[in-house]
Every structure is written in structure tokens, then in C-alpha cells.
A and B are shown apart, each in its own frame.
Chain A
Amino acid sequence: MITLGHYVMLSALLFIIGVAGVLTRRNAIVILMSIELMLNASNLAFVAFSRFHGLLEGQVISFFVIALAAAEATVGLAIVVAIFRKQGTIDLGHFKFLRG
């Protein structure tokens, strides 16, 4: 029997993997992918809650999240391309423009 707990556990696991990816990886594209992973982890949780409680709001929000994720991926990839053109690398370790 698969319970809500299983879904939430899986969602949390995916989210943590995403966080770990954002924090540890150097490649900008992998980081974008990790962010997608975190978004999808939350989507999973939303849909699971929606299904188990018989409410539709969770599914609606997950659609919003998908739309936003698409937009974010577009902008993010555009920035990555622009940076690559300028610097010739997408290794985030090289980008320290914000240094004080």
C-alpha cells in the first residue's frame, strides 16, 4: 500500500538531491537541472497532497510551477549562453563579479 508518506518522502529526497546539486556542482547547466529537480520535487508533493485530500488546488499550482520552470529555464539558459560567449566557460567557480 503506497501512502502519502511515501510520496512526501520521495519528494523530500528529490529536493535534497536538488539542493545538493545546486550547492556542490560547478557546471551552470547542471545547476539549472538541479533547480528543475527541486521544482519537480515540490510538484510531486503538490500533486500527491491534491490526490490524497481530494482537492484540486495542488494540481493547479503544479501547472503554474511547470510554466514558471519553463520560463526560468529559458532565461537561465540565455544567461548561461551569454556568459559563455563572454568568458568562454560556464564553470561557476570563475564567476566572482559580486565579490566585495
Chain B
Amino acid sequence: MAAFVALLPLLPLLGAFLNGIVAVLCRSGLREVPKALVSLIGVGLPLGAFGLTLLLFSLAKNPAEGISTAPLWTWIAFDDFAAHVAFKVDRLSLTLSLVVTGVGSLIHLYSVGYMSHDKGFARYFSYLNLFLFSMLVLVLAGNLPLMFVGWEGVGLCSYLLIGFWFEDPAKAYAGKKAFIVNRIGDLGFLLGMFVLYTVLVKKGVASPHGLLSFDILQQYRTELSGVATLACLLLFTGAVGKSAQIPLYVWLPDAMAGPTPVSALIHAATMVTAGIYMIARLHFLYTLSPVAMEVVAVIGASTAFFAATIGLVQRDIKKVLAYSTVSQLGYMFLALGVGAFSAAIFHLVTHAFFKACLFLGSGSVIHALSGEQDIWKMGGLRKRMPVTFATFFMATLAIVGLFPFAGFFSKDAILFQTFATNHKILWGVGFVTAGLTAFYMSRLLTVVFLGSNRTEKEKLAHLHESPLSMTIPLILLGLLSLGGGWMAIPEALHGGDHFFKWLAPLFPYEHFFDLLEAAGHGLELLFSVVTLLWVFHLGLITMILYAQKPAIMDRLAGRFRRLHKILEEKYYLDEIYNFLVVRSIESFSRVVLWRFHDEKVVDGLLVHGSAETVGLMGRTLNLLQTGVVQNYALFFIVGVIFLIACVIL
């Protein structure tokens, strides 16, 4: 078993290594990139990892508590601190591994078609496989330090892939922004780890498996209750950075500069959910601190709402989806915050299906239109790209939350549990946000695929449906968007709640089933129906308006011009950050660090200062050198007399 677990992340690492070699060999342009070979390595090894995950899944089905592998080797050891490379396979990490390798493999396959014309073909696959490796380390890690390795690894790959086309300064800048914003969060993560470690040491806990392993943390959770709020909030800062929540979400929309499959894989389906996963993994800590839980829920709900409002007016097809991702991640944090851990994970899984599908669909459109991303220059693509349209449509229905698509079940579970745990205001926010989701997704779908075409003539000429390597993943993800939610059909609809029951042993503090019993199926059903009707009608109205009477929407935008402008400019948050953070740091750096410390102290006092001192000494001694031999003789004789005097006296 343990050998299988270790092999799982190693497969993509091998792929990254091999393709990296190919990329280096072909860099000089002497040789053509062997695309078939690169594709075989780049797609084959993730598929292998997926196969292995399925095998693990079938092997590990029975023990509910999961398997922690013995430390494979010791990574850091000094005094009483130890960090081991050890993996933990339980139902939670298996679920995530299935999503990462499954959806990941599909996106790798899709990339073969999408990136086929790109110079950096081998480099791209190398990075993408490296990402998969890091993500698997993150998910399977048995302790916090190892998880942090994966955490940083995915951050690195995200940076590399956002700035994949590094010759364009704007794209390189977007990569840097993502990296730097994430560093702020990572600081919180590190501090959180330090707090946990310090407390455990002070309480005299000792363990050969390393104090920060999840099993040990869970075992000694009562010892940690004193600092739970502090530690949880610090760790949550890390999650806020990685999962793009208020106030650190600004990097995610810019991350759309990377290739579209990257947006689908990293910035929708996997890496950005790392924060959700981390909190779910540490649920036993979070449940100790009601304050931290409240903070998580409020941040989640407000992010869901604000990101959705920005999404309403965006013109860039990928930006709409990016804000939608931020918003959906907010839902997941809302679920975590109200203690609905399994609902959050469930939404994570279904979101991975439909958002990957949406991004890949948008990539297909962008690919067909030779790089056009402005939705107002699209339209009427329904007939020309039937497969893309059909899958995009299914995924849209899923994200909006229509029965019986995947999003319906997961979003409903979140909303119901939010209400049932007495968070009525947060439920209201979530409910309104569901309507906003319906609005912006219907708008996107209508403007891009329905109505008449507004594309420029020369781009229209190469308009074509995408190749098979791209449509197959689309179809599979479309089907998953349709059926992905059926693993948790609620009992109210005569289903089995399988997904929740499967995760239930992991989250013993979750009261989902108690809530159900207390509220009764009737209330749950009522909530489902209300939400369904709300999003259905809002979506339908939006579609009709945008398809039939776009003038009305323009007039509406005109009437609320100021609001519209604020939304278009994303609440000016980038500008505010620029003013408050970037500019102040810049001016501090310029005035104090550069002009004063560097130029005056380092250059002036130390570098030039030491040279000047030596020079001054030289010039002083220079005065003794008159060039008159007699003076020298005088010095000589004075010296001799002095020496003789010394000897005699």
C-alpha cells in the first residue's frame, strides 16, 4: 500500500523530469520538439497516476479512518523537531486525489490540442506535470510541513504557468502578482504552524512521527484549544491567499493571462481549492474555535457575493469565469465556516467538474477565434461549434444549480446547512449570490453562443470546431457536470446521500445528519425548490433579455452608470491596494532604502568612505616624501638614534 502511495506523486514528477529534458534539448531550436513523444509522456503519466488512484480507492475503501504511511524518510531533524515525508490516505485525500488526477488528466489531454501550435510545448507539459506532482504532495501529505511543500510547489507552478508566455511583460507581471500576493498568505500559514508547534512543545507532547502530523494534532486537540483561534486564523490567512478570497483575491483574475487549460486546471479545479482542503483537513482544530469558524463563514459569504457582482459586467470571457471561481470558492468557505465540511468538499468536487468544463469550453472558443477573448466580439457560435456549445451549456446549467445537474446538489447542500445552522443572514447572501451566478452565466452563454455573430471577418474564416483531443475532455467533463452530483442525491429526493455518508466518519463534529433530522425533509425540499425557481427564472429572464432585447440591458447599464462603472473597475480594489500598499512600499524603498540607506550609508559611508579614509592616510604620508635625499637621511639617523637610545636605556 505504502509503496503505491509513494508512487502516486512520483509518476507526474517523472513526467516533469523527462519533458524537462526534452525541453532543454530542444531549446536551442536545433531540433523539432517531438510532439508525439511529449504528449505521450505528458498525458500518459498523469493517466497512470489516475489509474493508481483508482486502485488505491478500491483498496482503501473499507477502513474509514484511513491509512497513514510510516515516514518514508526524514526530511528535517534537529533537537526535538522532526519533519518526515509521510503520506496519509483517507477518504478525504482520496477524493481530492481522484479529482486532481482525473480532471487533471483530462486537461492534460485537452492541452495536447490547445498547445499544439506553441513553441514551448515540452516546457508546458513539464510544468503541468510538475504541478500535478506538487498538488498530489499537498493532498496526500501526512503532516503540515510536507503539505506546505506541496503548497509552495503549486504556487511555483502557478507562477511559471501564468507567466508561461513570459515574452509578454503583462503576462510576466500577472505571474509575479500571483506569486507575491500568495506569499502574504503563506506567511500566515507558516506562523500558524509555528504556533501549533510551540504550544505542543510547551505542553510536553513528544512523538516520533513529528509533532505537526495530522494524526498527532488530532490526538492532542484538547491541548491546542487555547490557541485554536489564533492558529486557525493564521492558517486561514494562507487559505485566503491560495484560494483567492477577500482581501487577497486580486491575483486570480489576472492569472487568466496563462494558457486556458492552466486556468481550468490550476485556477479553477485544483490549486485554488487547496485552502478549502487545508481547512477540511484541520477541521478538528477549527471546530475548537467558533470565532475562527465565524470569520471563515463571513469572509466566504462576502467573497461569494462581491466576486459575483464584479462578474456581472466583465467583458473578457475568462475574467467572467475567474470571478465566478472566486465566488464559488467563497461558497465553499461559507460551508466550511458553518461546519458543513463535507458539503464544502462536495461543492469542491462538482465545481472542479463544471468549472474545468467551462474554462476548457472558453478555451475552445478562444482557440477557434484565434485568441479573441471579448465576449462582445463573439456570438452565434452555437451552430459552428456544437460540441463546445453543448458542453458549455451543460456546465452552465450545473454552475447555476439547475436540477439535476451537479451544482444543484452541492450548492443546495451548502445553502440548506447554512440556514439550518442558524446563519440566516449568510444564507440570504448565499441565496442572492445564487441569483447573481444565474445572471452572469446566462449572460455569458447568451452573448457568446446565441444571437448573431459579431466576429471580425478574417477571424471568422478559420472558425472551426476544436480537434478531438479537445472535445473528448469537454464531453467527459460535460457529462460529469451533469451526473457528478448524483453521488449525493439527498434523501429528500429518495437518494442515498452517499457522498456525505462516505465522508461522515472523517468529520465526527459535523451535525449534518442531526440537522436533517431536526429540520425534516420537508424544509430541505422547500429550500431546494425555492432556490431552483429563483435561479431558473433569473437565468431564463437574463437569457431572453440578452438574446432578444440587448438594448434594455444597455439602457439599464446607462441608468446605473456609476454602479456599473464601479463594478467594471472591480471596486477599484487594485487601485486601492496600489495606493495603500504598493505605493507606500515603493516610496519607502526609494527614499529610505535606496536614497538614504543604499546611497548614503552603504555606498557613501562604507564603500566610498573606506576608500576615502585609506586615500586620506596615503595623502598624509605622502607629505613625508619630499624627494630630498637629505630628509630621508635625517629620518634614518633620527631612527638610529632612537633605536640606540632604546637599547641603552
The one of A22, A99, A100 in contact with B630, judged by C-beta atoms closer than 8 angstroms, is A22
Contacts A19-B637, A23-B634, A23-B637 known; A99 to B629 CB distance under 8 Å?
no
Instruction: Report the minimum CB–CB distance from A41 to chain B (whole Å).
Output: 15
CA distance A36 to B189 in the complex (A): 90
CA distance A75 to B401 in the complex (A): 113
Please choose the segment from B288-296, B467-475, B619-627 that sits at the chain A interface, where 4 or more of its residues have CB less than 8 A away: B619-627
| 28 pairs of residues in contact across A and B, judged by CB atoms under 8 Å | A19-B637, A22-B630, A22-B633, A23-B630, A23-B633, A23-B634, A23-B637, A24-B630, A92-B628, A92-B629, A92-B630, A93-B628, A95-B627, A95-B628, A95-B629, A96-B626, A96-B627, A96-B628, A97-B627, A98-B625, A98-B627, A98-B629, A99-B625, A99-B626, A99-B627, A100-B622, A100-B625, A100-B627
Q: Across the A-B interface, give the 10 residue pairs with the lowest CB-CB distance, nearest first.
A: A99-B627, A96-B627, A100-B625, A98-B627, A100-B622, A23-B634, A23-B630, A99-B625, A22-B633, A23-B633
When distances are taken between beta carbons in the complex, the residues of chain B under 8 Å from A24 are: 630
Could you say which interface size class chain B belongs to? Answer: 10 to 19
B residues 286-330 with Cβ under 8 Å of A? none
CA distance A19 to B633 in the complex (A): 9
Instruction: Report the minimum CB–CB distance from B631 to chain A (whole Å).
Output: 9
CA distance A97 to B626 in the complex (A): 9
Per-residue B-contact encoding for A81-100, CB less than 8 Å = 1, 0 else: 00000000000110111111
When distances are taken between beta carbons in the complex, the residues of chain A under 8 Å from B626 are: 96, 99
Number of A-B contacts (CB under 8 A): 28
When distances are taken between beta carbons in the complex, the residues of chain A under 8 Å from B627 are: 95-100
When distances are taken between beta carbons in the complex, the residues of chain A under 8 Å from B634 are: 23
Which residue of A has the minimal Cβ distance to B623? A100
When distances are taken between beta carbons in the complex, the residues of chain A under 8 Å from B628 are: 92-93, 95-96
Instruction: Report the minimum CB–CB distance from A68 to chain B (whole Å).
Output: 19
Which residue of A has the minimal Cβ distance to B625? A100
Could you say which interface size class chain A belongs to? Answer: 10 to 19
When distances are taken between beta carbons in the complex, the residues of chain B under 8 Å from A97 are: 627
Which residue of B has the minimal Cβ distance to A25? B630
Instruction: Report the minimum CB–CB distance from A26 to chain B (whole Å).
Output: 8
When distances are taken between beta carbons in the complex, the residues of chain B under 8 Å from A96 are: 626-628
Per-residue A-contact encoding for B596-636, CB less than 8 Å = 1, 0 else: 00000000000000000000000000100111111001100
CA distance A95 to B634 in the complex (A): 16
When distances are taken between beta carbons in the complex, the residues of chain B under 8 Å from A22 are: 630, 633
- Beyond A24-B630, A92-B628, A97-B627, 14 additional contacts (C-beta under 8 Å) are A19-B637, A22-B630, A23-B630, A23-B633, A23-B634, A23-B637, A92-B630, A96-B626, A96-B627, A96-B628, A98-B627, A98-B629, A99-B627, A100-B622
CA distance A95 to B630 in the complex (A): 10
A residues 8-45 with Cβ under 8 Å of B? 19, 22-24
Instruction: Report the minimum CB–CB distance from A84 to chain B (whole Å).
Output: 16
Which residue of B has the minimal Cβ distance to A28? B629
CA distance A95 to B627 in the complex (A): 7
Which residue of B has the minimal Cβ distance to A99? B627
When distances are taken between beta carbons in the complex, the residues of chain A under 8 Å from B630 are: 22-24, 92
Instruction: Report the minimum CB–CB distance from B625 to chain A (whole Å).
Output: 4
CA distance A44 to B622 in the complex (A): 40
Instruction: Report the minimum CB–CB distance from B106 to chain A (whole Å).
Output: 81
Instruction: Report the minimum CB–CB distance from B457 to chain A (whole Å).
Output: 83
When distances are taken between beta carbons in the complex, the residues of chain B under 8 Å from A100 are: 622, 625, 627
Instruction: Report the minimum CB–CB distance from B14 to chain A (whole Å).
Output: 69
When distances are taken between beta carbons in the complex, the residues of chain A under 8 Å from B622 are: 100
When distances are taken between beta carbons in the complex, the residues of chain B under 8 Å from A98 are: 625, 627, 629
A residues 54-100 with Cβ under 8 Å of B? 92-93, 95-100
Instruction: Report the minimum CB–CB distance from A69 to chain B (whole Å).
Output: 18
CA distance A36 to B419 in the complex (A): 119
Which residue of A has the minimal Cβ distance to B628? A96
When distances are taken between beta carbons in the complex, the residues of chain B under 8 Å from A19 are: 637
Instruction: Report the minimum CB–CB distance from A42 to chain B (whole Å).
Output: 14
